[in-house]
Amino acid sequence: MSVSSTGGHLHEGPPDTKLDRHVLMIAGVVVLGAIMSILDVTVVAVAQNTFQQEFGTDAAGAAWTATGYTLALAAVIPLSSWAAARFGTKKVYLTSLVLFVLGSALCALAWNIGSLVAFRVIQGLGGGLLMPIGMMILTKAAGPERIGSVMAVLGIPMLLGPIGGPILGGFLIETTSWHWVFLINVPIGIVALVYSWFVLRDDEETTKASIDIVGLLLLSPGLALFLFGISSSAEHRTFLTPTVLIPAIIGAILIVAFIWHALRAKNPLLDLRLFRNRTLSISVVTMTLFMIAFFGASLLFPQYFIGVRGESTLTAGLLLAPQGLGAMLTMPIAGKLTDKMGPGKFVLPGIVLILLGMGVFIFLGADTSYWILCSALFVQGLGMGMTMMPIMSAALATLNNKQVPDGSTLVNVVQQTASSIGTAVISVVLASGLAGSMQAGLAIASNTAPDKLPPEMQNAPLPQSFFESAAEIFGSTFLVAVILIALTFIPAFFLPRKKIQSPLVEEDMDRAPIIMH
């Protein structure tokens, strides 16, 4: 936005929604970090069976390589707003990259499952700050007028990570070794470090604000315990077990206590007063429902292709590529036009496309044509590109520069929590449906191709009727995801369907360009 000064009056000039060279260079920095962080989650998920074989552990032990990373994310994300204000976004971002790359290198050197989990925690401490700090840097550089365009850039790794991860993970494990699942991050991380050092600018000012100790002691362990409990449900295939309920309930109590504290504290760890902003509140509710459904459904696609259709991990990843292609077509267009026309005009039709695409999977069979499924994934991808990032744009576009750190942190806390809930809910629904057959349950729920099962199971052929039954169970589980997506319509209906006005307030006036006449 440009502001002209004439006779003591301010006149708003035409908004500039084009991304200049500097913003694009910063976007490159943030995308590199996001690619490493997001791909790492899905790549490690593919390697779970390999970890069991290499380290002589069971599924629960191997699962801690994912759980430890998630808990580290949950513990460190709430710190991002304070860390950015205290040390500056550039220093925090560079430190995060160093921790992530160091953790990746150490993971490749792990000698047992315990050391691998410990090194994954180090990796998670870095990865947890990459997304929120990167979002802060990019949002401030672009300004509210271009938030949709920059969110579209950031959305590429967020949408393609769940698709590219299985492809990359399957390729690395099948052609090299499990070590490269982590070593691949080292050269990318070094490039990102050098690039960030030269491109990112030091913050104009930092504050010496003291950290909210009470808030930290409530939110970080509360979020970690809640996510640990929820994530444990996938292993136990139920929510009704002490291992799930006790940490989840304690975590929920701590989170509620933090909310009570944050609404009364002068300088809380995370300013929840942002929810007074109607557009942000609606966007967060929409985002929560959407993330639960999206990440839950993302779990089902590769499991169906591997467990029911007998495809390899690599082939399953390639079959998901049409979804990514669809998202890549609509995401840049929706991002740019969101800045001019408002997010509501894209989110609502995007949800319709997702429902049409995902709805096809309700009627899955054991031999449903791949042409039909890939076409449905493409349509779903078109909807994804029109939905996720405009929702995030709506959440951040009404914030001024002082509010961006808290807003970015809030968005990432919601995203991490919602994705864990979605994965847990869909996992439990699927596992309970497959409980009637132990062999199939092991093959499908553990993402194991039939030829990778133990010999005694490979020698026990299953009738075609079983695979038809398993496909129907997948269809029923997809129905749950479709219902969750449909519910997203309710809050999405209230998203702005016209251009969001920029929050040009006094603290931002100094930063706005002035055209003298």
Residue 507 pLDDT: 44
Residue 517 lies in a domain: no
Phi, psi of 506 (to 5 degrees): -60, -40
The answer to whether residues 422 and 442 belong to one domain is yes
Residue 348 in this model has a pLDDT that exceeds 80: yes
| Average pLDDT value for residue range 315-329 | 85
Comparing 215 with 1, the larger pLDDT belongs to: 215
CB-based contact 80:405 (threshold 8 Å): yes
The answer to whether residues 279 and 426 belong to one domain is yes
Residue 360 lies in a domain: yes
pLDDT in tens, 442-477: 455 455 544 454 444 444 555 566 778 888 889 999
The answer to whether residues 204 and 216 belong to one domain is no
Residue 493 lies in a domain: yes
The answer to whether residues 83 and 106 belong to one domain is yes
| Average pLDDT value for residue range 153-163 | 70
Residue 355 pLDDT: 94
CA separation for the pair 200, 133 (Å, rounded): 12
Question: Residue 258's closest CA among 230, 229, 223?
Answer: 223
CA separation for the pair 119, 271 (Å, rounded): 32
Residue 491 pLDDT: 93
Domain harbouring 110, CATH code: 1.20.1250.20
CA separation for the pair 91, 133 (Å, rounded): 10
Residue 10 lies in a domain: no
Residue 5 lies in a domain: no
Residue 8 pLDDT: 41
Residue 159 in this model has a pLDDT that exceeds 80: no
Comparing 364 with 423, the larger pLDDT belongs to: 364
The answer to whether residues 263 and 158 belong to one domain is no
The answer to whether residues 46 and 152 belong to one domain is yes
CB-based contact 188:331 (threshold 8 Å): no
pLDDT in tens, 216-262: 899 989 998 998 888 888 777 778 888 889 999 999 999 999 999 99
The answer to whether residues 246 and 199 belong to one domain is no
In the chain, the number of structural domains is: 3
Element containing residue 184 per DSSP (H, E) = none
pLDDT in tens, 370-381: 999 999 999 999
Per-chain mean pLDDT for the chain = 80
Residue 444 pLDDT: 52
**pLDDT classification of 508: cutoffs 50, 70, 90:** very low
The answer to whether residues 156 and 293 belong to one domain is no
The answer to whether residues 228 and 299 belong to one domain is no
Name the least confident of 24-28, 95-99, 259-263.
24-28
The answer to whether residues 410 and 439 belong to one domain is yes
Specify the DSSP class assigned to residue 237: T
Residue 12 pLDDT: 44
| Average pLDDT value for residue range 131-142 | 84
Give the structural domain span for 194: 18-209
| Average pLDDT value for residue range 279-302 | 87
Final residue belonging to a domain, choices 268, 289, 309: 268
Question: Residue 49's closest CA among 71, 66, 69, 68?
Answer: 66
Six token digits for residue 14: 């035409």
Residue 1 pLDDT: 42
CA separation for the pair 395, 198 (Å, rounded): 30
The answer to whether residues 193 and 221 belong to one domain is no
Six token digits for residue 108: 């490749």
Six token digits for residue 362: 């309700």
pLDDT in tens, 387-422: 888 888 888 778 877 888 888 888 888 888 888 888
The answer to whether residues 342 and 243 belong to one domain is no
Residue 515 lies in a domain: no
CA separation for the pair 290, 288 (Å, rounded): 5
Per-residue CA distances from 443 to 52, 200, 362 (Å)? 15, 47, 21
pLDDT in tens, 163-217: 677 778 778 877 888 888 889 889 988 998 998 898 888 765 566 667 888 988 9
CB-based contact 148:397 (threshold 8 Å): yes
CA separation for the pair 394, 346 (Å, rounded): 11
